Amino acid sequence: MRNSPNRLVATIFGAVYLLVGLLGFAVTSGVGFVATEGANLIIFEVNPLHNVIHLAIGAALLFAGLRGTDTARTVNATVGAVYLLVGIVGLFLLNSPLNIIALNGADNVLHLASAVLLLGVGLSLDKSPATARA
């Protein structure tokens, strides 16, 4: 893992997202599973569905980071692409009944920042020699 930025990033992000998902459940008591307005976890709004998504993404990233470089690259790039989509679409969902994961402005900024980092690492680092020559 020391020699692979993808494995390191996936493992760290995975652990953080798992922790955020678990902490989210501590503050969402009484919040509807798909409520459009959630409870605050620091400056981020979360509802139980949002917490479940954080747990799933955290588990996928942590598993990938522990599994190997190729898996970590693929999962980092995939999660980064999904976060880019969520960050962009989230801008249009604020104050909308379609906002089923209780996104707020801080969530959108975090999702876009996560997308840039995960996509950047996943698409540029730890390339195999054959890929690097092409």
Pairing state of beta strands 44-46 and 39-41?
antiparallel
What is the per-residue pLDDT for 132? 46
Q: How far is CA 1 from CA 47, 79, 134, in A?
A: 33, 19, 25
What's the pLDDT band for 125 if we cut at 50, 70, 90? confident
Reply yes or no on whether the pLDDT at 128 is more than 90: no
pLDDT at 19 over 90: yes
In the prediction, which pLDDT does 3 show? Answer: 85
**Model confidence at 50, in pLDDT bands (50, 70, 90)?**
very high
Average confidence (pLDDT) over 100-119: 97
- Rounded to the nearest integer, the mean pLDDT of the chain is 93
| DSSP characters over the chain | -TT-HHHHHHHHHHHHHHHHHHHHHHH-TTS-TT-SS-EEETTEEE-HHHHHHHHHHHHHHHHHHHH-HHHHHHHHHHHHHHHHHHHHHHHHHTTSTT-TT---HHHHHHHHHHHHHHHHHHHHSS--HHHHH-
56 or 133, higher pLDDT? 56
Q: Does pTM surpass 0.85?
A: yes
